[in-house]
Structure 1
Amino acid sequence: MAHPLRAVTLDFVDSAPLRLVFTTEAVSPPEAVFRGLADIPGWPDWFDAVAYARPTDDGAGREIRLKGGVRFLETIMAEDRAERYAYRIDRSNAPGLHALLEEWRLSPSGTGTRVRYTFAVDGTAVLRTALRLGRPGLGHAFRRAVRALDRRLQAG
């Protein structure tokens, strides 16, 4: 890992210099979606960008490797069953990144789940501009990942 990031708290999801928020619906109930999010080694099976995922620190953290070589060491900040799953990036080789917190909020929607994903970030002006420009792609990746997770959960 190239560099440490600033250790932010959960309130960073509301105060970050850049917040990208995406919402979609899943057929699966919140409890099932939460189980899918909390199954760290399963992430590469449904999130295309994730090449490798493993729990660290007796389940309190995660190591994530994205396709393309970006790596993260993370601390799980919230595991509110069937409601919220959040993690902070502690170390990364991504250039220009100063702080990053990702939050998945789950709420009942009929018999399924409304999934709201917040990507809260601080970084260089160049990084923030690139993320703003990449917002449509990140939103597409999020929606595709939730659909793939939903299919996986429906298949049992």
Structure 2
Amino acid sequence: MTVYWGNGDVQRTGLLHHGIAVAGAGPAVGAGLGEGLTMRCARIKDHASFRPVTDLLRERAAQAPTPPGDETAKAELEKAMTLLRTRKRPNNQLGVAYSWAATARPVRRHILSLAGLSPDRWESPIHSFTEAERLAMRHAVLRAISTYERALNAV
């Protein structure tokens, strides 16, 4: 599309590229589409000032928070919590066992010693440890990770 603009030079305006309008700012040289100087412009197609205020007020009212003590909201919340409680949880025991077994020997020994356990238990399957021991191992790994991250940031 060509328009006469300013001093009468023919300018290219309204080139559409990926949904964004591009307007010419100088003489378009050459026969190729979009050649020449261009300037950016914003898409204002969906700007709120072009919509009726009643639509905006209706959307705003729909987003209003639920008042405290609303019985319908409490019932919906209880229904959602019941669904969460009764959902079937995945069985990750096999993956956890493989992951521990695939961990290198020195790493397993180091984790056990950091957790205050005997490093000689490095060959024991992960499910042979009690929950308290596994929790101590998790905390030891998290402490080691934060220590190594600090060292990495310092380097």
Shorter-chain-normalised TM-score: which range?
under 0.3
Point out which structure has higher relative CO (alpha carbons under 8 A, 6+ apart).
1
TM-score by length of 1: 0.25
Q: Which is strand-richer, 1 or 2?
A: 1
Q: Which is helix-richer, 1 or 2?
A: 2
Q: Which structure has the larger Rg over C-alpha atoms? A: 2
TM-score by length of 2: 0.25
